[in-house]
Structure formats: structure tokens, C-alpha cells
Chain A
Amino acid sequence: MKKRLIMQIGLVVLLIVISIFLYRIGKGFQLIVENKNYTLGDVVYEAEGPVRVTFDDEIQLDLKKNRADLAILVGYGKHKIKVEVLDNNGNTIRTVEKTFSLSGKEGDLVSIPALLNGSDKWIFRRNVT
């Protein structure tokens, strides 16, 4: 009887652990990707364009200058971003790749100009007013 109870409790704990694991690997986060001029303190990062943004080698966005789009990334943990600056013929001029973590809350914003110019604050939570 005691052994059976332990088995049942163990099964419930296992299910809870699996649920948490599924939650973490399956959670979707909406990300705003912006290719617009970005001001950080006194520095203004100028938008370049057009750019091709690829997340985790799967999600691809093509952004012209002064445009923004949405991407949905799945799972907590590390993600990969690859930004290709294109010329007017669609050829890649420059490529920047980085790994990053999401804040874990809705409304993260990626500033492509800040990322291309080497700023540390290229991903942040957007302040909703």
C-alpha cells in the first residue's frame, strides 16, 4: 500500500516536471524587430537597409529601412539571430550573428541598427505607455 502511494506520488511529480519542461521548450514569445533609427543616450544609430533577419536558422524577415515586423520565438534559453545587410540587388554586404536570451516576458524589441553598430543594448523590453 505504501509502495503504491509512493509510486502514485512519484508519477504526479514526474508529470509536473514534464509539464514544466514542455512549458519551457514550447513557450512562444512575440518579438518586435525594428529597423528604424534608434537613439541611446547621445548616440543615434542610423537604420541601414534593406536587411534580412534570421532567427534560429528558421524564421526569416526581410525589412526595408524604417520598417518593423514581428517574429515568434519558441522556448526559453538561447536564441540565434543573423542579420544580413543587403544591397539593392539583394546581395549580402555584411553579416552579423549573435546569440541572446529573451526577458521571458512579452514585448521584447530588437533594434537592428543598434545590433549592427555593436551596441550592447540592442534587445530590450519595450516600455508600453
Chain B
Amino acid sequence: MKKREAKFTIKRFLMTNIVPILFILLSAFAIPISQFSANYLIQEMLIRLARNSFLVLSLLIPIIAGMGLNFGMVLGAMAGQIGLILITDWKILGIPGMALAAIIATPLAIALGWMCGTILNRAKGREMVTSYILGFFVNGLYQLVVLYFFGYLIPIRSPELVLSRGYGIRNAVNLLGIRNCLDYFIPVTIHGVKVPLGTFIVIAIFSAFIVWFRRTKLGQDMRAVGQDMEVARSAGIAVERTRLISIVISTVLAAYGQIIFLQNIGTLNTYNSHEQAGMFAIAALLVGGASVAKATLPNVFVGVVLFHLMFVVSPMAGKYLIGQAQLGEYFRVFVSYGVVALALAIYEWRRAQERAYARRMFRGEA
């Protein structure tokens, strides 16, 4: 069989990196129009890198295992939020509060991840849509727990948290006790720009973990499963178990990611915060040049910067260009969902091309 040449061509490069190139061009156009200072943009990007990177990183492991983009990460986000609600009620402050929220969230995320992984093992080839719908299903359960069980079955003492009827959690939970406690754990300011060094250290440790994990036996098994499940099974790899573990790890990490995200924001929107977590993290990863089948650490960081740069500059660019900041808001929602659609379409198109190529090879036409 002839080996397919992976020669560098401009067309191939453009096709592979179409999404980041598009975003770089849009940013290059929008930044001067927005009239933001360099200091402001750098500060915003550092904050958003700290806020979002962990969530986006949690998506990498299921991609290695060939399960695509884990829309089910919202399950982990919900587990993280339950931990945060409890520590807010118990008035546990600072880093110990965050750590305790993570410990509370861990068993919940493991259970939800296990459930998600088991279902996804029964829906091979349709993991993304299944996990997406699973997110809606668990969101219903989450709302039931938070709206009816908290304060009724699960004791909540703080009157600031409980709805006036005596049970259920209020729409907004103030996380003042843990706000920025990790970000500015080590206070560093360079030329007036505050660096959230504490969170960056955690992200660096986690990135190193992913690099190490890919080289472990389990990491290699995941790569093998991701490349071809049948071949991996023939090689004696427990395919279903490996896929299940990848989803459990991703869900647990998403829980931690949501805790880091919300300590940066400082307010928990009880019924909505988790809903967008998956979509925005996935969009950021795709903007960084990742695909459904392949994602790397640089994709994560490039994606978060480009995606959030667009988020910051587009409302102001819209205001100066057309006189309406609202247009920029529409634009960024359109962009975040549009980029997911574009990446999925390109992925399917490439797969169809590869199948066609394989058929031609089989017939001896290529």
C-alpha cells in the first residue's frame, strides 16, 4: 500500500489552521477599531487565561481516547458548583474553601463521569451528541437538587443562600470568601498588570500532568483506542474501561476547572453558570486549531487567547464601527457557536475525504 504523503503545502496549512487564521485576521481588524490600550488587553487576556484554561484542558483526555469533544463536561461543572454552594453555606474561606469544594465535588464528578462514560460506551461513534444531550438531562437533575433538595433534604443554614420560601438556592451566590484567592495567592504586578500567578502555577502543573499522562501505559492505551478501537481490542486493551476512565478524568477535571473559573468571577449564577461552560471551552479549543480528533496543549492556550480576545474587543469594535455595542455581543455569540459548527463540518468533510481516498486505494485507483 502506498503511503500518503504529508508534504507541506500552503493549501494544506490553510485547511488545517483555517479557524485560528480566521480569528487572527478578525482580531487584527478589530483591535485597532476597539481603541483598547495594550495594557488593558494584556490584563484581560491574563485574567481570562487563568479563568478558562483549566476547563479547556479538561477536554484533552477524551480527545486522546477518540471520544471527541466532551460536551458532558458540564456534568463536572455542576459537581463543582455543588461543592461551592456547600462551602459558601459553611463559610469556609480562601484556599481551604476551594480545596474543600474540590474534595466535595470529586465523588460527585466521578459518579457523573462514570454514568456518562457508561452511556457513551453504548453510543460509540455518536459520543458528542450523546454527551451534549446528557448535559441537558443532568442539568434537570441538578436543578431538582438545587431548587428543591437544598434547604429541605440537605441542610442550608445561610439565609443569604436560601430562597425566601425556606428551601432552594437563590439565583446568585456571592463567592466573596474565595474570590481571587488562588489567582492572587502570590501577588505579582508587572508594569501595572496584575498576574494571576497562583492559577498559572496550577495550570502549569496540570499541563505537565497531561504531558506525563500521555506517556503512561493508560495514556498509550487511550491513544491506541483513539486511533482504532478494534485494533486496540485485538492488542488486549480493555477498550470500554479505557474510554470510561477518560471520561471520568475529564469530568473530575471539569469540576476543578469550574471551581477555578468561579473563584475568578466571584459570583455563582446557580442555574446558568455551568450551561455555557462546555460550549465556550469547546469553542476556545477549536479556535486554537484543535479538531475533534486531535488537540494539543498549544491549541488550548492559543485558543483561549484568540477566543477571549474576540470576546473583549468585539463589543467595542462594534460600537465604534456601527455605533452599537450590542452588535458586538451578537457577533461573539454567533462566533462561538459558529466556530463549533465550522470545526465539526470541516472534521466531517475531512473524514469523508479520507474514506473516499481509502476506497480509491482499495480499488487501486489512487
Which residues of A does B touch, CB under 8 Å? 15, 18-19, 22-23, 25-29, 72, 74
Can you give 26 contacting A-B residue pairs, CB < 8 Å? Answer: A15-B103, A15-B106, A18-B99, A18-B103, A19-B100, A19-B103, A22-B92, A22-B96, A22-B97, A22-B99, A22-B103, A23-B90, A23-B96, A25-B96, A26-B87, A26-B92, A26-B94, A26-B95, A26-B97, A27-B91, A28-B93, A28-B177, A29-B91, A72-B93, A74-B93, A74-B94
* Nearest neighbor of A106 in chain B, beta-carbon distance: B91
CB A102 to nearest CB in B, in angstroms, measures 12
Q: Please measure, in the bound complex, the distance between the C-alpha atom of A123 and the C-alpha atom of B142, giving whole angstroms.
A: 42
List B contacts of A29 (CB < 8 A). 91
Known: A15-B103, A26-B97. 8 other contacts (CB 8 A): A18-B103, A22-B103, A23-B92, A23-B100, A26-B95, A26-B96, A27-B93, A74-B94
Q: Please measure, in the bound complex, the distance between the C-alpha atom of A25 and the C-alpha atom of B90, giving whole angstroms.
A: 12
CB B304 to nearest CB in A, in angstroms, measures 29
For the residues of A in contact with B, the DSSP-based class is helix
Q: Please measure, in the bound complex, the distance between the C-alpha atom of A18 and the C-alpha atom of B92, giving whole angstroms.
A: 14
Q: Please measure, in the bound complex, the distance between the C-alpha atom of A27 and the C-alpha atom of B177, giving whole angstroms.
A: 10
CB A2 to nearest CB in B, in angstroms, measures 22
Q: Please measure, in the bound complex, the distance between the C-alpha atom of A58 and the C-alpha atom of B93, giving whole angstroms.
A: 15
* Nearest neighbor of B106 in chain A, beta-carbon distance: A15
List A contacts of B99 (CB < 8 A). 18, 22
List B contacts of A72 (CB < 8 A). 93
List B contacts of A27 (CB < 8 A). 90-93
List A contacts of B96 (CB < 8 A). 22-23, 25-26
Whether the pair A28, B103 counts as a contact (CB closer than 8 A) is no
CB A8 to nearest CB in B, in angstroms, measures 12
Residue of A15, A26, A28 most packed against chain B (CB within 10 A) = A26
List A contacts of B91 (CB < 8 A). 27-29
List A contacts of B87 (CB < 8 A). 26
List B contacts of A74 (CB < 8 A). 93-94
Whether the pair A26, B93 counts as a contact (CB closer than 8 A) is yes
Q: Which of B65-101 contact A (CB under 8 A)?
A: 87, 90-97, 99-100
